[in-house]
Amino acid sequence: MNTKETHPPAAPEPQESYIVSEGKKRGSSRDVRPEAAFDRFYTVLRVHAGDAILTDNWHTNEVLDHARNNFEGYTFAMRTLEAWGAMVENDHRAYYTAGGRVWVMDLEPSAGKKPRLPRAGAGKK
């Protein structure tokens, strides 16, 4: 009697990736949650530090300005935000890590892609 049972190896769970077509890591792939849908769009209303107390220095100001200029006012697919490193918490908030800090994105659900909001990301403080 054979007490050793042989089981076929379990099939790995499929991982979805998103091919990045912009930025420094062009052509690289990043894992994206299966819930991150192609057809869910969000407009980034504001990028800020949340409850964090920021140090007023060159690095912090540069990173915050960069995040604001590249996200505020734009409408993105949920999947694109997550591929760029943002974690969408709910329909009104996402978190984005840049420069060693976590930035908060205030979101607004959108029916689809739309032009950038006026006056958004204009280096506001």
What digits encode the pLDDT tens for the residues 94-106?
999 888 888 999 9
Evaluate whether residue 79 is within a structural domain: yes
How many domains are contained in the chain? 1
pLDDT at 23: 46
Tell whether the model's pLDDT for residue 15 goes beyond 50.
Answer: no
Residue 46 has pLDDT above 70, yes or no: yes
The CA distance from 92 to 102, in Å, is: 16
61 within a domain of the structure (yes/no): yes
Predicted structure pTM score: 0.65
**What CA–CA distance (Å, rounded) separates 83 from 33?**
9
pLDDT at position 22, please?
A: 45
What percentage of residues in the chain have a pLDDT greater than 70?
A: 64
In a domain, 117, yes or no: no
pLDDT at 75: 92
| Residue 29 DSSP symbol | E
Residue 63 domain-assigned?
yes
Nearest alpha carbon to residue 44 among 122, 120, 123, 111: 120
Provide the residue range defining the domain that includes 94.
39-110
Q: Is residue 24 part of a domain?
A: no
